[in-house]
Amino acid sequence: MKKFLSLLLAGVMTLSLAACGGSADSTEAEAPAEGSGQKYVIATDTAFPPFEFTDASGNFVGIDMDIVKAIAEDQGFEVEIQSLGFDAALLAVQSGQADGVIAGMSITDKRKETFDFSDPYYTADVTMAVAKGSDVKSYEDLKGKTVAVKTGTNGADYAKSIADQYGFTVTEFKDSPTMYQDVIAGNTVACFEDYPVMAYNVQQGAEMEIPEGMTAAGSDYGFAVKKGENAELLAAFQTGLANIKANGKYQEIIDSYTK
């Protein structure tokens, strides 16, 4: 399956290359810089609602998915979505297996060393969350306990940055649902997650709660490509984002998942 996937990806990459090459000695008109109808592989997280998740009908949906599709339509390119997991999505872009990533990915100075980001399209805090009815209400209550984080995230960095100060240990999970499960099962006493995602899950019935006043480390979400690569995709995303903000489509998408 893995092998098949990478062959498939390789095929897509070859096609993309073929699509933009060969114009020098050709008499055909140049394809426009944007709107070239080319297909980009976009990597994302697996379950990070309301940004990307599988709905009750089995469709892969969410704010990120709708935004990238609306921009693709606006700019005349095609997208192939690869739902890989957060850490894996970033790695896929770094290794050139995907052209871009949209995954509720926070724009950070550290990531700017290896990614080029679009303008922000959403803002989110990180929050601590606990099992429903838990005694843990603040960082002080984490002393001597273990907390859950998702590998490679802002939330993980934040938890690690205060772990010594509050005397807790950190254990890592690959995706949000397994991280929540571990907290609900009581193996870990809390997790760190982006606030809108945690709030959405709680609203959807996750057996968890968000203690008051436990949000921190606000950040902006951006679409990203590998640094120095795929400049035309990034430019198309930027223009498309401005367009869907101006024509109301962006707000329509946000409202459809948050109201």
Distance of closest approach, residue 219 Cβ to ligand GLN, in angstroms: 6
Cα(53)–Cα(48) distance, integer angstroms = 6
Spatial CA neighbour of 98 closest among 28, 9, 158, 214: 9
Pairing outcome for strands 39-44 and 100-101: parallel
Distance CA 230, CA 85 (A): 21
Closer CB to ligand GLN, residue 53 or residue 168? 53
State which residue, 76 or 177, has the beta carbon closest to ligand GLN: 177
Specify the residue, 97 or 106, whose C-beta has the smaller distance to ligand GLN: 106
Q: Which residue, 13 or 170, is less far from ligand GLN as judged by CB? A: 170
| Cβ distance to ligand GLN smaller for residue 53 or 77 | 53
Q: Which is nearer to ligand GLN, 86 or 250 (CB)?
A: 86
> Three-state SS for 43?
strand
Q: Of 5, 239, 221, which is closest to residue 115 (Cα–Cα)?
A: 221
Contact 51, 42 (CB under 8 A): no
Q: How far is the CB of 154 from ligand GLN (least distance, A)?
A: 4
Residues in contact with ligand GLN by CB under 6 A are 45, 48, 86, 103-106, 150, 153-154, 194
Contacts of 68 (CB under 8 A, 6+ apart): 42, 79, 81, 102, 223, 237
Nearest distance in Å: CB 20, ligand GLN = 30
> At closest approach, how far in Å is the CB of 253 from ligand GLN?
17
- Alpha-helical runs (H) found in 41-194: 63-75, 86-94, 109-112, 154-166, 176-184
CB of 79 to ligand GLN, least distance (A): 18
Q: How far is the CB of 110 from ligand GLN (least distance, A)?
A: 10
